[in-house]
Structure 1
Amino acid sequence: MTANAQEAQPSTATPATGNQTTQGQAAATIADVVVTATLTEESLQKVPVAVTVVDGKQDEKENLNNINDISTIVPSLNFRDGASNKDQGLFIRGVGTVTTSPGAEPSVSTVVDGVVLARPGQATLNLLDVDRIEVLRGPQGTLFGKNSSAGVVSVTTAQPTADLHGYVDLSYYDKNETRLKTAASGAIVPGTVNGLFGVILSNYDGNVTNVFNGDTVNGSSHEGFRTKLEITPSSNLKALIAIDYLHSRETNPTGVITSSTVSYPGGVKTPYPAFGGIIAPVVPSSDNRSVNINTPTHADDDNGGASLQLDWKVLNHTVTSITAYRFWNNYQYQDQDRTSVLTAVTPQQSDVGKVNFDQFSQELRLASQKGQFIEYVGGLYYLHAADSETYRRTTTQVGPVVNSGFASYGITSDNIAAFNENTVNLTSSLRAVAGWRVIGDNLSYHHTRTSTSASAVPGIAVSSPYTSDEVFKWGYAERAGLEYDVTPWATTYATYSHGYKGPAYNVFFNMVPATQGKVLDPETSESFEVGVKTKLFDDRLVLNAAAFHTDFENFQANFPNLIGGTVVTNLVNAGTVTSQGVELDFTAKPTERVTLSGGIAYTDARITSTDIVGRNWPIEGQTVPFTPKWKANVRADYLLPLNDKYDIDFGTRVRWQSDVQYDLAQSPDTIQKAFGIVDADITLTNRDDGWKFAVIGKNLFDKSYASYLQSSAATAAPGTAGYIYRWVPRDDSRYFGINIRKEF
Structure 2
Amino acid sequence: MDTWERRVSSHQMEHNSIRRIRKGKRMQPTSPSRWILAPVVAASLASANMPVSAQDLVIEEVLVTAQKRVESAQDIPVALTVISGDMIDSIGIQSTTDLVKIAPSLTVREANHAQNSAFSIRGIGTITFGIGVEQSVAVIVDEVAAVQSGQTMAGLMDIERVEVLRGPQNTLFGKSASAGLLSITTKAPSEELESYLVLTATDDDETKVAASISGPLGDSLGYRLSGIWSDRDGYIRNLTAGEKDKNGSKNKNIRGRLRWDVNETIQTDFTAYYMKDETNCCARVWTEFDPEAKLFGFIPEAVAEGITPGEDNQDFRADDGPQNDSTTRGANVKVNVELGEFTLTSITAVDNWEFNVNQDVDFGDIDVLKYLTGGRESGGLYSVGWFETDFFSQEIRIASPAYDSYDYVVGLYYSDAETKRTFFRNLSLAPADFASSAGNENLGLFGQLTWRFTDSTSITGGLRWIKEEISADYENFANAEDTPFSDTASDEQVVGKLSLQHFIGEDTMAFASYTRGYKGQVFDLDVGVRNLIDPETSDSYEIGVKGNLWERRLQLNLVAFYTTYEGFQVQRAEIVDDVIRFELNNVGELNTRGVELESIALLSPNATLTFNAAYIDAVVNDYDGASCYTGQTEEQGCVNQAQTIDGGSLPYAPEWKYTAVLDYQLPLDTMPFDAFANLLYSWQDDTLLSINQNPNLTQDSYGVVNLRLGVNDKASRYSVTLFANNLLDEGYATSKLDVSRLFGNATARAQVTPRSTQRYFGVEARFNF
Q: Is the TM-score greater than 0.5?
A: yes
Q: 2:492 aligned with 1:474, yes or no?
A: yes
Q: Cα distance 1:123–1:28, how it changes in 2: closer, same or farther (>3 A)?
A: same
Q: 2:608 aligned with 1:595, yes or no?
A: yes
- How far did residue 620 of structure 1 move? 1.8
Deviations 1:561-620 (A, max 9, x none): 335755454321122110000000111012111100021111111111122234135522
- How far did residue 88 of structure 1 move? 1.1
Match of 2:691 among 664, 675, 700: 664
Corresponding position of 1:700: 727
SS in 2 for 1:554: strand
SS in 1 for 2:483: strand
Alignment of 1:232-247 (within 5 A): 232-247=261-276
Match of 2:59 among 30, 49, 66: 30
Tell me the distance in 2 between the aligned counterparts of 1:563 and 1:112.
Answer: 42
- How far did residue 736 of structure 1 move? 0.7
Match of 1:643 among 624, 644, 669: 669
Q: Cα distance 1:274–1:409, how it changes in 2: closer, same or farther (>3 A)?
A: closer
The answer on whether the counterparts of 2:462 and 2:496 sit within 8 Å (CA) in structure 1 is: yes
The answer on whether the counterparts of 2:407 and 2:451 sit within 8 Å (CA) in structure 1 is: yes
Q: 2:438 aligned with 1:391, yes or no?
A: no
Corresponding position of 1:192: 220
Corresponding position of 2:760: 735
Tell me the distance in 1 between the aligned counterparts of 2:250 and 2:577.
Answer: 34
SS in 2 for 1:464: coil
Deviations 1:73-129 (A, max 9, x none): 210001111222211111001111133311110111111101112222221121111
SS in 2 for 1:669: coil
Which amino acid in structure 1 is aligned with residue 646 of structure 2? E
Corresponding position of 2:653: 627
Q: Cα distance 1:170–1:600, how it changes in 2: closer, same or farther (>3 A)?
A: same
- How far did residue 722 of structure 1 move? 4.2
The answer on whether the counterparts of 2:359 and 2:382 sit within 8 Å (CA) in structure 1 is: yes
Deviations 1:316-359 (A, max 9, x none): 11100000001110011111112011255998311111011111
Corresponding position of 2:25: none
Tell me the distance in 2 between the aligned counterparts of 1:641 and 1:605.
Answer: 46
SS in 2 for 1:75: coil
Q: What is the aligned-residue identity percentage?
A: 29
Deviates most, 92-101 or 195-204: 92-101
Q: 2:463 aligned with 1:436, yes or no?
A: yes
Match of 1:75 among 104, 113, 128: 104
Give the number of equivalent residue pairs: 709
The answer on whether the counterparts of 1:24 and 1:687 sit within 8 Å (CA) in structure 2 is: no
Tell me the distance in 2 between the aligned counterparts of 1:405 and 1:568.
Answer: 12
Q: 2:411 aligned with 1:367, yes or no?
A: no
Q: Cα distance 1:610–1:532, how it changes in 2: closer, same or farther (>3 A)?
A: same
- How far did residue 556 of structure 1 move? 0.7
- How far did residue 500 of structure 1 move? 0.7
Alignment of 1:57-136 (within 5 A): 57-136=86-165
- How far did residue 14 of structure 1 move? 7.8
Q: Cα distance 1:292–1:21, how it changes in 2: closer, same or farther (>3 A)?
A: farther
Alignment of 1:227-306 (within 5 A): 227-260=256-289, 277-306=302-331
Alignment of 1:163-562 (within 5 A): 163-189=192-218, 191-215=219-243, 216-260=245-289, 277-342=302-367, 344=371, 348-395=380-427, 404-451=431-478, 464-508=482-526, 510=527, 512=528, 516-562=529-575
SS in 2 for 1:533: strand
SS in 1 for 2:625: coil
Tell me the distance in 2 between the aligned counterparts of 1:623 and 1:76.
Answer: 16
Match of 1:578 among 574, 585, 591: 591
Q: Cα distance 1:631–1:208, how it changes in 2: closer, same or farther (>3 A)?
A: same
Tell me the distance in 2 between the aligned counterparts of 1:378 and 1:21.
Answer: 38
Q: Cα distance 1:196–1:665, how it changes in 2: closer, same or farther (>3 A)?
A: same
SS in 2 for 1:574: strand
Which amino acid in structure 2 is aligned with residue 410 of structure 1? S
Tell me the distance in 2 between the aligned counterparts of 1:256 and 1:100.
Answer: 21
The answer on whether the counterparts of 1:271 and 1:721 sit within 8 Å (CA) in structure 2 is: no
Corresponding position of 1:5: none
Tell me the distance in 2 between the aligned counterparts of 1:590 and 1:64.
Answer: 24
SS in 2 for 1:186: strand
The answer on whether the counterparts of 1:347 and 1:395 sit within 8 Å (CA) in structure 2 is: no
Corresponding position of 2:717: 690
Which amino acid in structure 2 is aligned with residue 505 of structure 1? F
The answer on whether the counterparts of 2:514 and 2:542 sit within 8 Å (CA) in structure 1 is: yes
Tell me the distance in 2 between the aligned counterparts of 1:290 and 1:409.
Answer: 35
Q: Cα distance 1:24–1:99, how it changes in 2: closer, same or farther (>3 A)?
A: farther
Tell me the distance in 2 between the aligned counterparts of 1:528 and 1:624.
Answer: 19
SS in 1 for 2:151: helix
Q: Cα distance 1:611–1:396, how it changes in 2: closer, same or farther (>3 A)?
A: closer
Tell me the distance in 1 between the aligned counterparts of 2:62 and 2:20.
Answer: 12
Q: Cα distance 1:317–1:386, how it changes in 2: closer, same or farther (>3 A)?
A: same
Tell me the distance in 1 between the aligned counterparts of 2:333 and 2:610.
Answer: 36
Which amino acid in structure 2 is aligned with residue 468 of structure 1? S
- How far did residue 379 of structure 1 move? 0.7
Deviations 1:406-433 (A, max 9, x none): 1000111100010001110111110101
- How far did residue 261 of structure 1 move? 5.0
The answer on whether the counterparts of 1:272 and 1:722 sit within 8 Å (CA) in structure 2 is: no
CA RMSD of aligned residues (A): 2.7
The answer on whether the counterparts of 1:628 and 1:660 sit within 8 Å (CA) in structure 2 is: yes
Which amino acid in structure 2 is aligned with residue 736 of structure 1? F
Q: Cα distance 1:17–1:249, how it changes in 2: closer, same or farther (>3 A)?
A: farther
- How far did residue 630 of structure 1 move? 0.8
- How far did residue 474 of structure 1 move? 0.4
Tell me the distance in 1 between the aligned counterparts of 2:272 and 2:618.
Answer: 39
Deviations 1:708-733 (A, max 9, x none): 1111136x79x722411111121323
Alignment of 1:9-28 (within 5 A): 10=13, 12=15, 28=57
Q: Cα distance 1:689–1:61, how it changes in 2: closer, same or farther (>3 A)?
A: closer
SS in 2 for 1:636: strand
TM-score, length-scaled by structure 1: 0.91
Deviations 1:627-646 (A, max 9, x none): 11111110111111002742
TM-score, length-scaled by structure 2: 0.88
List runs of 5+ in structure 2 lacking aligned partners: 1-11, 22-42, 373-377, 637-643
Tell me the distance in 2 between the aligned counterparts of 1:273 and 1:407.
Answer: 29
Corresponding position of 2:29: none
Corresponding position of 2:36: none
- How far did residue 507 of structure 1 move? 1.2
Tell me the distance in 2 between the aligned counterparts of 1:564 and 1:349.
Answer: 19
Tell me the distance in 2 between the aligned counterparts of 1:669 and 1:242.
Answer: 47
Deviates most, 433-442 or 551-560: 551-560
